[in-house]
Structure formats: C-alpha cells, structure tokens
Amino acid sequence: MSGLPRSYNPFAEEEEEEEAAVSPWSASGGGGEAEGAARQRYLQQEVLRRSAATADSTTRSLSLLYESERIGVAASEELVRQGEALKRTEQMVDKMDQDLKTSQRHINSIKSVWGGLVNYFKAKPPESKPEQNGMPEYYANSRLKEAMMSSKEQESKYQESHPNLRKLDIDNDFSKADLVSSAPRDSYPKNQHLRAYHQKIDNNLDEMSSGLSRLKNLALGLQTEIDEQDDMLDRLTKKVETLDVNIKSTDKKVRQL
C-alpha cells in the first residue's frame, strides 16, 4: 500500500469497465463518423430491446389477467352450485314443516272424538307439493350470468396466452400487428420491427382494459350473488329454528297420548 499514490482509486478499473459496457461504440475507434454510426446502431438495438421487453411484459400481464378471469368464472360456478344446494335444503325444510303439520292434525284427532270431528270438517290447508324432478331450478342473478358468459368467451384467449400452450413466433406477430392494428401507419415508427412492437403493446393494453372491465363486472356479480345467498341463509335459519320448536312440541304431544 505504501507504493500507491494518495489519489489512487481502487474502484477506478470497475468504473472504466462499466463505462466501456455502457458505451460500446467508444471501442470502435476510427474517427467521429464511425463512432457516431456505432452509437446510432447501439441506440437502435437498445430501443428494440426495451420495446421487446415491454411487449413481452404486457403479454405476461395479459396472460395473468386471463387466468384471473378463468379462476373468477370457476368461483362463480361453484357459488351457483352452492345456491342450488341452499334452495334444495330450503325446500326439504318446507316439506318437513308441511309433514309435521299433518302429523299434528292426526295427533289432535286421536286425542278426542270431538277434536277428530272438528279436524274432519275443518277445511284443510292446501299442501305444497315438492318438485318432482329432484333438482330444483336455481337461477343466479342476471349480472353474474352476463359476466360469466362474457368471461367464458375468453377461454380460447387464455389458452393461447398460457406460457405452456402458446407458440412464440415473432414473425407472425409482426405480420398480425400490421394487419390488425387500426391506428394510422404514420403514428408508429418507420422501422418495421419497432412498429410491430408498438402495435403489439397497444393491442395488449386494449385487451387488458377490456379484461379489467370484465373482471369488475364479474366481481360485482359475485357480490350480488353472495348477498342474495346470505338472505337465503337467514331465511333458512329462521325456518329451521321454527321447525325445531314444532318438532319438540309434537314430540311432547305424542308422549302425552
């Protein structure tokens, strides 16, 4: 260390290496024109690289958006099946309540002849018949149904954008971008590859905007469906509590016979 000058910077070599890496055109030599051309080529390559990275980033984001939409549809379908189960349970409770009322009338007729005559001549309330086909019909709210239908139409796009399913063909992407884009040609760079990257980024952003709108509608539909099923659960809870009281009362009457 004693042989080194006081102004020695141990990081000077690293700074020189970084500067050389950032400015590769400086190594070309040969005068100002050659250096300027090398710098221009480097900047063009850097712009293309960053544009490609941005296009790839928006493609990945779009793929995640499609996947989120697919998961939302699956959750919606499961919620609809839960609603069907709740409705079927409610109908079973209603049927049990109706059978219990019939049993109570029979118990009253057994207890006394007078009670039997009264029940005989008394108008019988109409009995509600359970649905015949077993599975009750259940319809989700219209907002959720429309959102599910709209999102299911994007299933093919999800498969195309999935990293394990899609095929990366840059040349095809370029040709598609030239054909699909409706933007004026003058609004994009003249370079064919750079223009294709810009068009792809714009298309991905448009798809992301539409996908976020569909996700919003799906979330609102799910919230509405959850609120309706919460009301159904409250109604079912009250019916079960009433049925439990009636069962205990009927059991007590049977024991008194």
pLDDT score for 157: 75
pLDDT score for 249: 85
pLDDT score for 81: 92
Judged on CB neighbours under 10 Å (0-12, 13-18, 19+), 48 is: middle
For the stretch 177-190, what's the b/e string if a residue is b when 16 or more beta carbons lie within 10 angstroms of its beta carbon?
beeebeeeeeebee
List per-block mean pLDDT (blocks of 10 residues) for the chain, which spans 257 residues: 51 47 52 78 88 91 90 92 92 90 79 58 53 60 87 76 51 44 54 86 92 93 93 93 88 76
pLDDT score for 152: 84
* Ranges of each domain in the chain: 19-124+136-256
